[in-house]
A and B are shown apart, each in its own frame.
Chain A
């Protein structure tokens, strides 16, 4: 069974204080690893898809990296508007019935203080 564990559960940063969020996963054949941002009471907003170990993607102050066992979301010089819950999910490429199900971690709640 696919599993995703995110750490820390919550992270408080001062504006400008860079840090990283971790996503550890076990999956029977990784098709893709996804990062989403979710604001309170809203649906998840897509950030990145990573497909293979060594791949990196960047968007503004965010950079996502992938190894064979984990992914990191690096936040450089965060601003208060980066405060949100960040969700990591995996999609398996195992044959048969694994068409597109996403398995999510519990999320990391990021708070950036001005």
Chain B
């Protein structure tokens, strides 16, 4: 049984560019949450998707947007990248509000 998968593993972008990160949830899970983890910090909640709709959002600007597809996979889009967006982006899947299982993350570097 495959766990949560994310792509790409690493990504390097320059300021002002746009980026799309992808996540496939664990089999049987219908909910996807995205987190940003800066170096040395705990993950910070960005938003959560369920039934293809954003159900809850953290304190992140509108530059951060997402999408969930009918097969429950999800994308995170970040526009107008800033240096401060450099971080490990984590996707977690769950069945509703049950335990969240995390993927390996995508390391984004903004130059």
The chain A residues found within 8 Å of chain B, CB to CB, are 4, 31-32, 34, 36, 41-46, 49, 87, 89, 91, 97-107
Q: Which residues of A contact B90 (CB under 8 A)?
A: 43-44
Any chain A CB within 8 A of the CB of B100?
A: yes
A45 to B33, CA, bound (A): 15
Asked if residues B33 and A100 are in contact (CB atoms below 8 Å), the reply is: yes
For the complex, give the distance between the alpha carbons of A103 and B35 in Å: 10
- Tell me the interface secondary structure of chain B in the complex: strand
Contacts known (A43-B90, A43-B105, A98-B56); A103 close to B45, Cβ less than 8 A: yes
Q: Does A43 lie within 8 Å of B102, measured CB to CB?
A: yes
Q: B48 on the interface (CB 8 Å rule)?
A: yes
5 A-B pairs with the lowest CB-CB distances in the bound complex, closest first: A104-B42, A43-B102, A100-B97, A44-B102, A101-B45
The answer to whether B107 and A102 touch across the interface, beta carbons within 8 angstroms, is no
B50 touching A102, Cβ below 8 Å: no
Query: Given contacts A31-B97, A46-B99, are A102 and B33 in contact (CB under 8 A)?
Result: yes
